[in-house]
Structure 1
Amino acid sequence: MINFSMSRDEFRTLHFEQKPRFLRKCFDPAPYGWSLIDRALDLQDPTRELLKVLYNGRTEPSAYVEEFIDVGLRRRRILKDRLYNMIASGATIVLNRIELVSTPVRDICLEIGRFVGAQTSANAYASLGEEAATNVHWDTHDVFVVQVAGRKHWRLYEPTHPLPISSQVSNERKDEVPATPVFDDVVEAGDILYVPRGWWHRVVPVAGYDTIHFTVAVHTPLILDYLVWACASTLPDLVELRHSLLGDTHDAARVDEAAQVIAKALRDPAMLDAFYTRSQQRERVVTPFNIDALVKQADRPLAAQTRVTLNARQANAESPVIHVNGNPIHLMGDHERIVRQLADTTSIDIESLQARISDIPAEALQTLLRDLARADLIRLEAVVEPLREQLPADL
C-alpha cells in the first residue's frame, strides 16, 4: 500500500500537470525485485513492442529472440544465454506493459490509478550496470516513477514545451534543456517520484547499485480529446457548422457564428457529462482470480487485514452513478454503501472498512464483500483465516 500523504483533490490542485512530487519511503519494496522480473520474462511475449534491450542504443530483437513453430503455433522465445550476457555487460532490459503479465505491478497501477482517478499502465526498467539507458528527454504523459530495487539519480528540468501530446516528442529539441535542474536527487527503493509530462529528465544509475523501477503512466482524456469527440458526436447537429466555405465575404461571419455556438455547446454540463460517461464506459480493470477464497472456502472468514479495492479508477463517492468495468452499477442497501465507501479511498482493509460502517455486523460484511468480489466489482487481496486445530480437552 502506498502512502501518498495527500488526497486526490490535493494532488490534482497542487501537483497534477504542474510540478513534481517526491515521496520518500512511501511503500514497502520487499515484494518486488529480480524474481518479479524473472516471472514477467517467463510470461511476456517478447515482441519488439513489449521487450527492449538498451545498451548504447536499442539492440535489435534478433540478437536475443528467436521465432519457432510449436505444435502448429508460431511462437517467440528469449535466448537466455544471450540476454544474460547482455545484462552482465550493463544492458538495461525494458518490459513494456509489464502489468499485463505481473499481478503485483497491476496492483500498483490500480492503486495509483485510483489515487489520480485515471487509467494507468506500467513499463519496467532493470539493470545491473552503470550505463544510462536513455538520454535526456520529456515524456508525453505524466508518470509515477516507482523505485523497487537499488537506486537511480534523477534530474528534472522545467518544461520548455508544456503539456506535450503524443506527437510532440523531444528528440529534435534537446538544445532547449535548461541549464539548472529543479530536482536533483537519488531515488531509492521504496521511493516514488511524480514527473508531469513535458518535464525534461536525465536519469543515470548510481555506481555500485543495480536498479529496478516501474514508470506508471497516467492516461487522461485531454481537452483536445473532448473537442475531437464533440466533432464526431454532437457538433454535426449544429446547423451553423454545416454551412459551406466558398471563399467569399460571408465566410468570416459564418466562422464567427460557428465559433460562438461551438463554445456554448462545449460549456454545456450535459455534454461534458456525456464525455465523462464515455470515458468511464471504456475503462476495464483486470483482477486476478481467487477461487479458493471466493468459492472453495467461501464459508471461512476473511482476515481483517484483507485489502479491498474498487475495480474502477475514475469513480468517486460523489458520483451519482458509479461505473465499474464499463457498466453503471445499480446496487441498493448495504452493497451500495460499501461501494460508496470504497469509491472514497484508494484501498482499505476489512478492519478499517468495518469501523466506517460499524452498524453492519462483521459476518454480514464478509458476505457482502464476497458478493461484490464474485460480481467483479471489487478486488479482494483475500486471505482466509487459518483453521485452528482442536486440542484434546485434557491438555
Structure 2
Amino acid sequence: MSFLRDAYECEPVIAHHNDPERFRGLLSVAAVDRKVAEQDLREGMLAMADANRSVDSSDFVADSGAIDRVAVARLYRRGATIILNQVHQSDIALADFCRSVERVFSCHVQTNIYLTPPGSQGFQTHYDNHDVFVLQIEGEKTWRLYDRPVEAPYRGERFESGRHAVGEPRHTFVLKAGDCAYVPRGLMHDASASGDAASLHITCGLLVRTWADLVLEAVSEVCVNDPAFRRGLPPGFAHRDFDRTAARDRFRALISELSSRAQMDGALDLLTEQFIQSREPAVLGAIESASRPLARQYRARPAPWRLIDEEGGLRLIIPGGEMTFSRAPRPVIERALSGQAFAPEDLVHDQAEELIRRLTTTGLIERLD
C-alpha cells in the first residue's frame, strides 16, 4: 500500500470520499445523546474541553464520581466539546472497527469520540504522542496543520503548552461527513466545528510498539543469560571524584558484546505474543451457539493467532490468552483458522466437534448458518 510506504509516520493524508454515509454505521449524534442520557458514565469515561475557557472536571463530575448529565448538557450548550473516551470497549461496532485496524498495524487501537457545538473549538493548538485517523461522522470540521516540532514522540512524551512556537498553519482543510484524515504523531494541529451543525468525529489512535521496545527486549534477553551484565556498578561510582576511565572501557566492551549477541527473533516473538494476547476476543454469538447443534459451515474470524509446537502438543496464542492441544494435529487447527469456510467433516479428526466448540467459545471461528 502506498500509504504505508510513503505517508505512515511521515506525512498527513486527507481523504475526501464524497459519501456522507460512509461511517454512519459506526456512530451518530443521536447515539452520543443516548449514551450520555442512558449510560452510567463515570469520571474518565467522559471529558469536556473548550479552547476559549477552562473547563475543570469538577464542573461536570459529581462528588460520587458520576457524570452530571445536566452539567454536561449546559456546558455543551455554552460551546464545550463532549469527549467520550475508549468507547470501543462498550460498543461492538467500534470494537470490530478497531480490530480491523489492529490487523493492519499490529498495534493497540483506541477510539475517542468528539462532539463539538457549531462554531466551537475543543482544544488549542497541540500535537499528539500517537498517530491518529480522524473519521468525520456528522457535520464539518476545519483542521489546521502546523509544524512538526517533535519527530515521532514517545508515548509518554506529552505536549507541553508554550514549549514550541505555533507559527502559521501549513495546511488547512475541511472534513465533511464521510471524509477522513491521518495525522502523524508530533504534528501540531487544531480544529474547529464549521457550518451550522454540530461536528461529530471519531479519533482512532494507534498505540504502536517501537524499535526501541524491540531493542530493549533483545538486550534484556542477553542480560538474562550473561552474568557480566548483572554485575554491580563500580563501588563509589556516585562520588564526585570517581575516575570513570575503567568504567568507560567496561561499558564499551559490554556494548560490543551486545551488538554481537543480541538477536531479533526471540524478542519479536515475545512482542508478537504479548500483542495477540492483549487483544479483546470477539465472542459475540459464543453463548448463543453453545447449546446448539453443530452448524453445516464455519469460518475463522479475522483475528491474530500464533501456533507453537511444544513437547506434548501445540500451544495456540489467541486474543485474551492461549489454548493447548494434546491431540489435534497442526494441519487440522490451521485448516480451521485459515479463513476459508469449512464443514465439520472437512477437519477429518475424531475430536473435530470438540475442537469446533472450543474455537467458537473463544471467538476464533463463527457459524455461517
The TM-score normalised by the length of structure 1 is 0.73
C-alpha displacement of 1:236: 4.5
C-alpha displacement of 1:289: 3.1
Q: Deviations over 1:154-174 (max 9, x none)?
A: 222342210011343332456
Tell me whether 1:269 sits opposite 2:261 in the alignment.
no
Q: Deviations over 1:332-363 (max 9, x none)?
A: 4455235234xxxxxxxxxxx55xxxxx5699
Task: Quote the sequence identity (%).
Answer: 19
C-alpha distance in 2 between matches for 1:376 and 1:292: 10
Tell me whether 1:29 sits opposite 2:23 in the alignment.
yes
| Counterparts in 2 of 1:370 and 1:206: CA distance versus 1, 3 Å | farther
| Counterparts in 2 of 1:161 and 1:78: CA distance versus 1, 3 Å | closer
**Map of 1:159 onto structure 2:** 148
**Map of 1:197 onto structure 2:** 185
Gap runs ≥5 in structure 2? 238-242, 308-313, 348-352
C-alpha displacement of 1:11: 4.0
Gap runs ≥5 in structure 1? 1-5, 69-75, 342-352, 355-359, 385-395
Bigger drift between 150-159 and 277-286 goes to 277-286
**1:179-194 matched pairs, under 5 angstroms:** 179-181=168-170, 183-194=171-182
- Superposition CA RMSD, Å: 3.6
Q: Deviations over 1:185-210 (max 9, x none)?
A: 11122222121111111211112121
**Map of 1:45 onto structure 2:** 41
C-alpha displacement of 1:19: 1.6
User: How many corresponding residue pairs?
Assistant: 341
**Map of 1:170 onto structure 2:** 159
Q: Deviations over 1:34-71 (max 9, x none)?
A: 23323443335321x22111233452333333355xxx
**Map of 1:115 onto structure 2:** 104
**Map of 1:309 onto structure 2:** 301
Preserved CA contact (<8 Å) 1:44 1:50 = no
C-alpha displacement of 1:227: 4.2
C-alpha displacement of 1:374: 1.8
Tell me whether 1:89 sits opposite 2:78 in the alignment.
yes
**Map of 1:133 onto structure 2:** 122
Preserved CA contact (<8 Å) 1:130 1:205 = yes
Q: Deviations over 1:280-334 (max 9, x none)?
A: 35422143532576246666778xxx9963233xx599xx997322437767445
SS in 2 for 1:153: strand
**Map of 2:7 onto structure 1:** 15
SS in 2 for 1:285: coil
The TM-score normalised by the length of structure 2 is 0.77
C-alpha displacement of 1:139: 0.5
| Counterparts in 2 of 1:362 and 1:39: CA distance versus 1, 3 Å | farther
| Counterparts in 2 of 1:59 and 1:307: CA distance versus 1, 3 Å | farther
Tell me which of 259, 282, 287 is aligned to 2:282. Answer: 287
Preserved CA contact (<8 Å) 1:52 1:94 = yes
Preserved CA contact (<8 Å) 2:290 2:357 = no
Letter in 1 for 2:317: H
**Map of 2:212 onto structure 1:** 224
Letter in 2 for 1:294: S
Tell me which of 92, 98, 115 is aligned to 1:103. Answer: 92
C-alpha distance in 1 between matches for 2:368 and 2:139: 30
| Counterparts in 2 of 1:335 and 1:250: CA distance versus 1, 3 Å | closer
Preserved CA contact (<8 Å) 1:146 1:213 = yes
**Map of 1:390 onto structure 2:** none
C-alpha displacement of 1:20: 2.1
Letter in 2 for 1:148: I
Tell me whether 1:259 sits opposite 2:255 in the alignment.
yes
Tell me which of 335, 338, 345 is aligned to 1:337. Answer: 335
| Counterparts in 2 of 1:192 and 1:379: CA distance versus 1, 3 Å | farther
